[in-house]
Amino acid sequence: MIEDLIVTRNLSIKSDLITLKDVVENERFYSIPIYQRLYVWGEDQVTTLLEDLERATKTPDNYYFLGGTIIISNQSKYDLIDGQQRFTTLWLLSYELKNELEDFAYAHINKIYVKRISFTIRDFANQYFSNPDNYSQLTKEEKLQLEGITQAQKTIQTFLNAKERGNSIEFKKRLTMFLYEKVAFIETEMPSGIDENRLFEVLNNRGVQLQHHEIIKSKLIQYLPDYEKRKYAQIWEACSIMDNYIEKNIKDVCGFKWGDITQKETEEDNEIGLPADIINRIAKSTSDFEDKHLNEILELDKYSLKEDNEEYDYDSGKVRSIISFPMFLQHSLRIFIFNTKYEGFTSDKVAEVNEKKLIETFENHFYPYYLNQTDVKAFIELLLKLRINFDKHVIKWIEKEANQEIHLIKRLYQNKKVLQRKEPLSNEGLALLQSMLYHSQQITTLYWLTPFLNKTLQEDNTENLYKYLLKLDNLMFCSELSEDLSLRSWNLIDNKLNVFNPDIKALSRPSGTVFWSYWFYKTDFILWYLKASEQGDDWKNYRMTKKNSVEHISPQNRREYDENILWDENETLSDEEKKKRLDDFGNLVLLSIGMNSEYSNKSFAEKRTSFFEKKRLDSLKSALIFENRKWNWALCEQHRNEMITLFKEYFIKTMKSWTNE
């Protein structure tokens, strides 16, 4: 334990709440010790932090707490023992934003820029942090070791330049000042005499802290009678494990055998669900046998309790949820409030989805109105229903091969020997649409889930849910609705979705690299929806992947030999007019950061060759563009206009498919 390292040597520690401004004013410099790994945060973690910070800037008077760091003084620097990933991300963000934050990234000492972070022994990392432009001078192996850092930097660049941030210049100014003055963390300085390696080992092996949702569960369970507390606590716990399917969680949490929660076995595969009386079965599992009368014990026979040697083989594959349990709790709370509407409720009191404010959300929206036995039980029972439906109707990350995940919806099937999750034949459209919404929206909120999950309480048919989500997507993101997504999704929960005023004017504006990524994802989905049946298997089996970098087909910096340009040499166009053509939706595609780096300023012909050499179809929009052997302004305009026409055709088909039923 950390206490053992300190107390036995009569050492003391001190902690302070500090901001980046404090770091600059106190002239602090930090070193990453050699025993620490280099940067390992992935794109989702970086994006989550960025989206959290963006939300936090909307209440600029409040501090945003970024957890804690642990440091040890080491000559003129401090060894950063814990908090390296967050600290490095802040450095990268500061480097991109410049202005006041430039003083955090680099100190100015005797007219020399000195980096705020250095690395013990790793000279190549120091070279990069001294000036990221030095990247080209590094060896292939060194670049590979820095891949996490360079990918994070590109993710930050894409985020800062995205048009959905509104006026990006104003947003950057606001974010810069907020980061500098209001992002705070607890900096704990350990005594110099402590064993750094031992401390690092202890920190990495420390126990998991009590999570916020467990605090909420504990408070709610207090309002239940003693004989029901364990039952509802087990339901909560089973729902909270997001990276397994619910049937596995219930079996493990309640100590069931598979026969306790399955139905009558058959030779053929049958799709099944959990028994309708699953809560009663959980209730029976929570009582001790010695406390039961004989007739109660015999009653358990009805529930098909099986011997160990009669157990099923269970196969779900390796899965990962698209949302955390705190997010799921907040979506469930929104649905609960919508369907109960406490006295005095008004739409300006809609609960938001913000994992950082989970306890605050329940304090404001549940505790004042629902802390009684009836409502607590109703909420936890709703939580179970929604979790069952979530696993049945919402995509998960499914591991197909080592280190490769795809979005799938898997259903529960049972035969005489096997209980397994597998993909049915009829939900590929629903899965692809959800994948499009996942990749194109803030992964920390996914507000479309609130109305969709509420719909699953009324509708279980896959095709009808697919039609509903097609229409919901159109209304949430392609219409003239202007409320923030929290309120917009709330207003659409029980809306008949019959009034639709499409708004796709953005496709006609030359927005270039600040085009909202949603428009590209939506374009690919529309192409799949309308055209896949006319194409080959690569179109029919198309899957969405993470792409967040807008690339020009005709490059901004043209090679001399590239004849595929958007204006003739004899055209008298101003630089502004040329830029508008380059930034036209017809001349743009959405790529992964890695693909964008690979394309760079290559000619149209080189990009076309690279596209067809790929084993997998990354973009349907790109596929249409590269059907052309050459590229010019006429083809660019034609492509853009064709896409706009397809949007309109798609709206007619998808809105009609629902309203006519």
State pLDDT tens for residues 422-479: 888 778 999 999 999 999 999 999 999 999 999 999 999 999 999 999 999 999 999 9
Q: Using an 8 Å Cβ cutoff, are 328 and 236 in contact?
A: no
Write down the pTM of the prediction.
Answer: 0.79
**pLDDT computed for residue 561 by the predictor:** 64
Which distant-in-sequence residues (6+ apart) come within 8 Å of 393 by Cβ?
Answer: 409, 430, 452, 456, 462, 465
Q: What token pair was written down for 628?
A: 């052309």
d(CA 128, CA 148) in angstroms, rounded, equals: 13
Beta bridge partners of 114: 107
284 contacts 300 by C-beta, under 8 angstroms = yes
**Count of alpha carbons within 13 Å of 614, Cβ hemisphere only?**
16
Chain length of the chain = 661
Q: How confident is the model at residue 170 (pLDDT cuts 50, 70, 90)?
A: confident
Residues forming beta bridges with residue 112, ordered by sequence position:
109
User: Does position 357 have pLDDT exceeding 70, yes or no?
Assistant: yes
Confidence band, pLDDT 50/70/90 cuts, at residue 493:
very high
Q: Look at residue 114 in the predicted model and tell me its pLDDT.
A: 86
Q: Which are the contacts of 466, defined by CB distance < 8 A and separation ≥ 6?
A: 427, 429, 430, 433
Q: Is 562 exposed, middle or buried (0-12, 13-18, 19+ CB in 10 A)?
A: middle
CA distance 181 to 196: 30
Strands 549-552, 588-591: pairing is: antiparallel
Q: Check if the beta carbon of residue 276 is closer than 8 Å to that of residue 285.
A: no
Of 5-9, 495-499, 583-587, minimum mean pLDDT range: 5-9
Q: Do residues 587 and 632 lie in contact, with contact meaning Cβ atoms separated by under 8 Å?
A: no
CA end-to-end span of the chain, whole Å? Answer: 64
Q: Tell me what pLDDT residue 323 has.
A: 96
Mean pLDDT to the nearest integer, 209-221: 83
What is residue 399's three-state secondary structure?
Answer: strand
**What is the C-alpha to C-alpha distance for residues 594 and 524, in angstroms, rounded to an integer?**
19
Summarize the confidence of residues 544-548 as an average pLDDT: 88
Q: What is the dihedral of CA 38, 44, 47, 48, to 10 degrees?
A: -100
**How many angstroms separate the Cα of 98 from the Cα of each of 156, 178, 617?**
13, 13, 38
Q: Tell me what the pLDDT averaged over the chain comes to.
A: 84
> And the tokens for 474?
């159109």
User: Is residue 309 predicted with pLDDT exceeding 60?
Assistant: no
pLDDT band at 6 (very low <50, low <70, confident <90, very high): very low
Asked whether 183 and 90 are in contact (CB, 8 A), the reply is yes
- Given a cut of 60, whether residue 258 has pLDDT beyond it is yes
pLDDT the model gives residue 298: 42
- Over residues 527-543, the mean pLDDT reads 91
User: Which residues are bridge partners to 406 per DSSP?
Assistant: 398
Half-sphere exposure of 239 (CA within 13 A, CB side): 28
Least reliable range by pLDDT among 66-70, 427-431, 595-599: 595-599
| Phi, psi (degrees; rounded to nearest 5) at 146 | -95, 5
Strands 404-408, 411-414: pairing kind: unpaired
Q: What is the DSSP letter of 309?
A: G
CA distances from 263 to 250, 273, 282, 300 (A): 15, 8, 15, 15
- Which residue type does 177 have? M
Select, from the ranges 81-90, 106-115, 389-398, the one with the highest average predicted confidence (pLDDT): 389-398
Alpha-carbon span 251 to 258, nearest angstrom: 7
Structure tokens at 555: 């490059």
Q: Which two tokens stand for residue 4?
A: 């053992």
What pLDDT is stored for residue 211 in this prediction? 77
Domain range annotation of the chain: 2-204, 221-491, 505-659
CA–CA distance, 542 with 192 (Å, rounded to integer): 56
